[in-house]
Chain A
Amino acid sequence: MSSGQFEFTLAIGGAAGQGIATPGSILARLFTRRGLWLYAYNAYQSIIRGGHIYLTMRISDRQIYSHGDSLDMLLCLNQDTMDRHLGLLGAGGRAIYNSDTIKPGEAADGVQLCPMPVKQLSNRSRNRVIQNTIALGVITNLLGLEFDVLEQALKLQFGRKGDAVVNENVTAARAGYDYAIENFQPLSEPLPTGAKPLALWTGNDALAMGGAAAGVKFYSAYPMSPSTGVLHWMARNARDLGIMVRQAEDEISVANMVIGAAHVGARAMCATSGGGFALMTEAVGSAAMMEIPAVFINVMRAGPSTGVPTKTEQGDLWQALGASQGDFERLIVAPTDALDAFNVVPEIFNLCDQAQCPGIVITDLLISEGTFSADPDGIDLYPEIDRGEMIANGAAPNGEYLRYKDTESGVSPRALPGVPGYAHVVATDEHDQDSVLISDEFTDPHKRRRMVEKRARKIANIIEQIPAPELQGPEDADVTLIGWGSTEGVIGEAIEQLADKGITANQLAIRWIVPFHAQAVINAVSRAKRTIIVENNYSGQFYRYLRSETGLSVDGHIRKYDGEPFMPHHIVDGVIEQVAGKTDHYIPYQEIMV
């Protein structure tokens, strides 16, 4: 934490089924309504009951993008959490726990243990999650907040369930709040207040909202962690926004439905994770061949195969680059945080419509399931919508219309089925300008070459429309950190910490993978004194892509592939070791066992 800034990190640990989500979302709302910036990361496993869930919620009076390095308060909902994580608290930290069921561990000096006699405080309630509400009362008090702030939040949360539930929770929270007044020491400075209330969303919400803003009218999905949140948002909002949402029998169907809907003129999108994307890939190629614009979102999780369904990784870059057989172009973008996940969707839709091609948004669990605060005024729900060269009405004599007319730009006006006079067939076989198959006729090498070049030409023009990556931070820094997608925020925080330690660093954050601004990257990297690539994978997928596109190498690597995301100090430590010449390949140690 840099001086002069407020920062506080709270963690809640327990087993699946103990109801961590509810106090988590109540607190998150409470903080963001107060105008505090927030980032929450939930570490969990693919089980519905049991296991270990560990929610880290970091708040600050400035915008933050990672769950940080330190812990100030720990709420233990079970013994396991106490045993695993008490050691993360340093002087000034507080551990809150149900003293009826949990034995405190050996705490570091200066840690305040805050036992709650839950049975006594709950009047022997049989509600098994009542300890969570009592704890909310304790936490509210320790943070120096008035009780009515929590009371309002509880009413909001439980209002739909009726007065009895609201009253039970308010009474329990009050008991916890009052008990804390008598028995525990609150923070020396109460929680600050921000400039204005902030909004709250997950990356999955942001992707779905980006689709809604882009004018997506058809969304299809098969449930798959960690992308399912997009489906949930779409299903919840479908009727209000007039979006057709279809849960299909598999991802093959999902992708093909999207292509069918897109072909008749709807903006159509789907989201999945790597396994589902594997099933979609043949369809990605068919969209390229038939020249149908559609957007496919791959939210990466740790692989290969079923892998670690609830853990993050940046391991599908080459899957996206190589999705589907054949040599063809697809657009690929990797958003850097939730707001960017929202913004890239309308951006890629416009480009896909212009080039009549498939587009892939590649992101990861860290963003998709991370909870972010957002400035509501910074969310542009009315972006420019450009459908490209589309014939949606009017009449022309048949015969003159060539669906795949060989134009200078490579783009051929696309007539929507239903328009009189433009009847045509689109085909996954290679075809001529009038879409008659050339594969079944005889192989005509000249026609084939012309169509390959036509399709490629469409994409070549796209690069001028996307921003080139720029160095963030001092031009003459000691170290240039290169990352792609979700690592931008955590690298940014690491750079601040490095400055405190006397190492100047800047960042080259890559969003657009295809098309790739190779020359801009070459310019930035060749000026750098020391280049280090930071990636959430084992083999350096982006490093290999960078080499293939630029011929450049780098000085060092920081890679993490244990399923957990980078914390800022992981990168700081990696840079320090490399600057000291100890290694050029640093793999951080994951301290928090989740």
Chain B
Amino acid sequence: MDGIDTRQLVLDPETANDYKGRVDPDWCPGCGDFGVLNSMRKACLDMGLKPHEILTVSGIGCSSNFPGYFNSYGMHTLHGRALAVATGAKMANHELNVVVTGGDGDGYGIGGNHFTHTARRNVDLTYIVMDNEIYGLTTGQLSPTSSLDMKTKSSPYGSIEFPFNPITSAIMNGATFVARGFSSDTRHLSMLMQQAIEHKGFSLISIFSPCITFNHDNTVKFFKRRVKKLEDENHDTGDWKAACEKAMVWGDTIYTGLFLHVKDRPSLDAAEPVLDEGGPIAHRTEALTKEQGDRIISRMM
């Protein structure tokens, strides 16, 4: 192709680099999202997932460009709608590993309604949110997770709104795998991603992924000093109340790791009787059988 350098996609990846997409990221140098992308490549390599077995779905925003930089099937959809599109895709072909990527504005702001209901339905999706507490692509306005008093272009005198807590919200809404990561700790993040993809049900990994250009409050340095892994705290991932308490801690200590893991609630595709047999609906014969047609007509008589 003229204009931009593109690479051919690798059919059977043998290294993390083989999970590179056709183009390289156009993120700002130093963006936290690089760490997230590298963690995902490593997680998929370690799990032996083939690119055609993965569908990466995103919305709009810096981090939503993710599918273009990753070797898999991908959908770069509308702002805020990735979870809805991904739900349709997963339910129509439940054999796909569906990973949803996006940012805090996309997922917790404009897509907030879908976040609530996708968690409640326990759709078997892995939701990777790169939370930079700011709107980056629109050059720096308040996001749902921006801290109180934060000064941005849309809050020049400081925010007066209390921030959204993705972890407690996901837990309250019924998500069955709720974790928090930090983009600079790719080893930890990659491990969380593997667990999340393996989990049957809705899994959220909300990741501190600092914006180097527009957020000068929540920087890599800010998080490095504060993050503590729940794994080192003897946290019981079956205890939702303890998970919420840990998720509310925000000060000198901020917890990362797996907050909640519910293993006994069926995912939506597992609960759906239409999928009991016959494989993914996307692969089934379209035409009605004679018996089905006869039953339809007999009910009209």
Residues of A within 8 A of B (CB): 32-33, 197, 199-201, 205, 209, 212-215, 217-218, 220, 237-244, 246, 248-250, 252-253, 256-268, 282-283, 286, 290, 374, 376, 379, 381-382, 385, 387, 392, 397-399, 416-429, 432-438, 440-442, 444, 447
Contact = CB atoms under 8 A, between A and B. Distances in A.
A18 B293 CA distance: 35
Interface string B79-121: 0010011111111110110000000000000000110110000
Contacts of B221: none
Contacts of B282: 217, 261, 264-266, 416
Nearest to B68: A425
21 contacts: A239-B274, A240-B292, A240-B295, A244-B92, A253-B117, A256-B85, A257-B85, A259-B88, A261-B91, A261-B282, A263-B75, A283-B78, A376-B301, A381-B296, A385-B287, A418-B52, A419-B52, A426-B76, A435-B22, A438-B3, A441-B23
A266 B91 CA distance: 10
Nearest to B84: A256
A243 B274 contact: yes
A305 to B, nearest CB: 21
Given A264-B282, A379-B297, A218 B92 contact: yes
Contacts of A417: 52, 55, 73, 89, 93, 96
B249 interface: no
Given A428-B77, A447-B3, A264 B52 contact: no
B297 A199 contact: yes
B81 A256 contact: yes
Interface stretch (B5-13, B33-41, B190-198, B258-266): B5-13
B175 to A, nearest CB: 15
A86 to B, nearest CB: 35
Contact of B113 (A253, A398, A440): A253
Given A252-B84, A425-B67, A399 B92 contact: no
A420 B73 CA distance: 10
B126 interface: no
Given A263-B89, A429-B76, A421 B52 contact: yes
Nearest to B90: A260
B201 interface: no
B47 interface: no
Given A253-B117, A260-B89, A420-B52, A199 B301 contact: yes
A436 B286 contact: no
B284 to A, nearest CB: 6
Q: Which 5 A-B pairs have the closest CB atoms?
A: A215-B286, A260-B88, A399-B8, A425-B74, A257-B88
Contact of A265 (B68, B93, B278): B93
Contacts of A379: 297
A283 B85 CA distance: 10
Given A261-B88, A382-B288, A398 B93 contact: no
Given A212-B288, A244-B272, A425 B75 contact: yes
Interface in B112-160: 113-114, 116-117
A303 B133 CA distance: 40
A196 B235 CA distance: 72
B88 A256 contact: yes
Q: Is the interface of B mostly helix, strand, loop or mixed?
A: mixed
Contacts of A283: 78, 81
Interface in B1-38: 1, 3-4, 6, 8-11, 21-23, 26
Given A259-B77, A265-B283, A425-B75, A246 B91 contact: yes
A397 B86 CA distance: 26
A435 B1 CA distance: 11
B71 interface: yes
Contact of A432 (B1, B10, B21): B1
B57 A260 contact: yes
A252 B281 contact: no
Contacts of B116: 249
Contacts of B117: 248-249, 253
Given A253-B114, A425-B21, A428-B76, A437 B88 contact: no
Contacts of A433: 1
A230 B4 CA distance: 47
Contact of A253 (B53, B77, B84, B283): B84
B277 to A, nearest CB: 9
B300 A199 contact: yes
A239 B1 contact: no
A400 to B, nearest CB: 9
Contacts of B295: 240
B184 interface: no
A442 B297 CA distance: 57
Given A218-B92, A260-B88, A426-B74, 13 more contacts: A32-B301, A199-B297, A205-B300, A212-B292, A242-B281, A244-B91, A244-B92, A259-B88, A266-B282, A376-B297, A424-B73, A434-B22, A436-B23
Contacts of B272: 244
Contacts of A382: 287-288, 293
A436 B278 contact: no
Contacts of A246: 87-88, 91
Contact of B88 (A200, A218, A243, A250): A218
A419 B11 CA distance: 11
A374 B78 contact: no
Contact of B75 (A200, A220, A244, A260): A260
Contacts of A33: 301
Contacts of B297: 199, 376, 379, 381
B209 interface: no
A420 B11 contact: yes
Given A265-B283, A268-B88, A428 B78 contact: yes
Contacts of B93: 264-266, 416-418
A268 B88 CA distance: 9
A464 B77 CA distance: 32
A243 B286 CA distance: 10
B72 interface: yes
A418 B73 contact: yes
B65 interface: yes
Contacts of A267: 286
B44 to A, nearest CB: 12
Nearest to B76: A427
B50 A420 contact: yes
Which residue of B85, B89, B113 has the most chain A CB atoms within 10 A of its CB atom?
A: B85
A263 B285 CA distance: 16
Contacts of A205: 300
A248 B75 CA distance: 20
A282 B110 CA distance: 13
A239 B276 CA distance: 10
A242 B284 contact: yes
B281 A436 contact: no
Contacts of B56: 425
Contacts of B26: 440-441
Given A260-B86, A381-B297, A382-B288, A423 B92 contact: no
A398 B9 contact: yes
B281 A217 contact: yes
B296 A436 contact: no
Nearest to A294: B88
Contact of B114 (A218, A249, A262, A435): A249
